[in-house]
Copies of this chain bind each other. A is one copy, B any other.
């Protein structure tokens, strides 16, 4: 069969097809996913090493930190994008560590409100400061203008995705 020259041509076709032809959205998604995993793992590792905390715990505490009155578990579930059943366990462990308090309000006994303890606030504010620094470090090589652009354009992606969900969910 044909040998040296056709091999080169085939290679070019393959490369072109894979890199520019189609599936742009798929390629973007794969890159978003791997980048997010990379950053998550780094944050997880640092939270663990420096604070003995986990990322889901950090996320949950972040929501409580900006609502000093506390939040109902269902609301926590929505904000952290974590299922109800999951929130139950997370709050349980945080309460066992003395970082979070659970209260049932007088008016409605179906409800459980979680709020940070003083210890929880202290610990979280240290973690939050470190966390922000880690992100600045990790993204240090990216131009601020690009960061802003990404923030805006990813917002467009999020909005598009929200409008094309199979369920009846919104943001």
Chain A 33-61 per-residue mask, 1 if CB under 8 angstroms from chain B, else 0: 11111111110011001000000000000
CB-defined contacts of A27 to chain B, threshold 8 Å: 151
CB-defined contacts of A45 to chain B, threshold 8 Å: 166-167
Which residue from B26, B132, B149 sits with its C-beta under 8 Å from A135?
Answer: B26
Number of copies: 2
Give the interface segment out of A84-92, A103-111, A140-148: A140-148
A166 and B46 in contact, given A28-B147, A41-B81, A146-B153 (Cβ under 8 angstroms): yes
A24 within 8 A of B: yes
Q: How far is the CA of A161 from the CA of B103 in the complex (A)?
A: 40
Q: How far is the CA of A34 from the CA of B158 in the complex (A)?
A: 8
**Does the CB pair A151–B24 fall under 8 Å?**
yes
A side interface size, CB within 8 A: 57
Q: How far is the CA of A171 from the CA of B31 in the complex (A)?
A: 12
CB distance from A55 to the nearest CB of B (A): 10
CB-defined contacts of A171 to chain B, threshold 8 Å: 38
CB-defined contacts of A140 to chain B, threshold 8 Å: 160, 164
Interface residues of A (CB under 8 A from B): 20, 23-29, 31-42, 45-46, 49, 81, 131-132, 135-142, 144, 146-151, 153-167, 171
Sort A-B residue pairs by CB-CB distance and give the 3 closest, nearest first: A141-B160, A35-B158, A36-B36
